[in-house]
């Protein structure tokens, strides 16, 4: 099957499951549910859950074994975007070409919708772990929780916050991205590997792939911020430069950042070698991320 067709299949599986998860029945708080749904069902590449499904399938497991966890990671990603866009944080009015959550539902509901999506991620993982009796799911949940928390993604957001309007050293820039973006890209790969019963070597290789993929993703984001257009990004380009953020482009220049992007992607893909033909989707996915224009 062609990459794009398989990707569309994975995305549809994820979106059907997300739509199912978000059904809350309570007549008293329709706006909370609407706000959660607005951001969760806003489309996008669904990179994180797609990674989880692809890893499970590559390891010759049923993708339904990892679907709940894959969707929970998308919920965690979505909540982080809602909170990141708030006026007190990045103060963004648009996300993927749509008004941000707080612009539609107000700040208070946006805060609660983010909280509720984070909590729902755990509700669904726990429910799935109880139902499946696969004891590795508890371990996978621990991996996701660590990468999502203060020593993972939230830690990265805190570094980002602390770095605004400042020039920051390279090690801090790298730590920020490793945590803020990288952690939640490693999470679905490692969690799916664990649930699928990957052996130590397979786990190590997949983790290496994911670490490089996360870094490549961030470098590309920084490049797109300079090169991108409003049409493609759904937000104003150059917003990093406007806020005086240190990025891979401000640190290395556009050309060197582009070289770094290629090298990091190549290194990531090299981790997939021993999986052979089975890894073709993950390989194509890594390459598609380098080529993306939004």
Q: Which residues bind a copy of itself (CB under 8 A)?
A: 24, 26, 28-29, 31-33, 36, 79-80, 83, 86, 88-89, 106-109, 111-112, 114-116, 118-120, 122-123, 126-127, 129-130, 138-139, 141-142, 145-146, 148-151, 154-155, 157-159, 161-162, 172, 175-176
Give the shortest CB-292-to-a copy of itself separation in angstroms.
28
Looking at the Cβ atoms of 167 and 270, the one nearer to a copy of itself is 167
Q: 25 vs 255, which CB is nearer to a copy of itself?
A: 25
Instruction: Provide CB contacts within 8 A for 88, sequence distance 6+.
Output: none
For residue 185, CA distances in Å to 206, 222, 288 come to 11, 17, 15
Report the nearest approach of a copy of itself to the CB of residue 99 (Å): 17
Tell me how far, at minimum, the Cβ of 106 lies from a copy of itself, in Å. Answer: 8
Q: Name which of 128 and 222 has its Cβ closer to a copy of itself.
A: 128
- Cα angle for residues 179, 192, 206 (degrees, 5° grid): 65
- Asked if 22 contacts 37 with a C-beta cutoff of 8 angstroms, the reply is yes
Provide the minimum distance between the beta carbon of 125 and a copy of itself in the complex, in angstroms, as a whole number.
Answer: 9
- Return the number of the residue (141 or 264) whose C-beta is nearest a copy of itself: 141
- Least separation, in Å, of the C-beta of 10 and a copy of itself? 26
Which is nearest to 194 in space by CA: 87, 56, 78? 56
Closer Cβ to a copy of itself, 143 or 269, answer by number: 143
């Amino acid at each position: 099957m062609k990459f794009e067709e398989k990707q569309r299949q994975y995305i549809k599986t994820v979106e059907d499951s997300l739509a199912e998860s978000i059904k809350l029945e309570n007549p008293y708080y329709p706006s909370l549910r609407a706000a959660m749904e607005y951001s969760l069902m806003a489309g996008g590449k669904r990179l994180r859950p797609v990674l989880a499904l692809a890893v499970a399938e590559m390891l010759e497991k049923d993708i339904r074994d990892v679907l709940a966890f894959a969707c929970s990671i998308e919920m965690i990603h979505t909540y982080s975007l809602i909170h990141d866009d708030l006026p007190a944080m990045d103060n963004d009015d648009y996300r993927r070409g749509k008004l941000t959550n707080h612009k539609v539902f107000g700040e208070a509901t946006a805060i609660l919708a983010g909280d509720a999506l984070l909590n729902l991620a755990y509700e669904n993982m726990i429910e799935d772990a109880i139902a499946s009796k696969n004891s590795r799911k508890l371990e996978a949940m621990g991996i996701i929780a660590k990468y999502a928390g203060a020593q993972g993604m939230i830690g990265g957001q805190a570094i980002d916050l602390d770095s605004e309007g400042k020039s920051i050293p390279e090690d801090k820039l790298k730590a920020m991205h490793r945590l803020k973006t990288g952690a939640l890209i490693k999470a679905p790969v490692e969690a799916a590997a664990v649930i699928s019963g990957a052996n130590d070597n397979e786990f190590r290789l997949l983790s290496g792939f994911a670490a490089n993929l996360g870094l490549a993703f961030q470098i590309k984001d920084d490049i797109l911020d300079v090169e991108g257009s409003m049409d493609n990004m759904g937000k104003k380009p150059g917003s990093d430069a406007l806020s005086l953020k240190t990025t891979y482009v401000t640190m290395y220049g556009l050309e060197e950042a582009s070289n770094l992007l290629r090298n990091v992607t190549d290194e990531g893909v090299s981790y997939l070698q021993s999986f052979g033909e089975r890894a073709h989707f993950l390989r194509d996915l890594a390459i598609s991320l380098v080529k993306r224009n939004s």
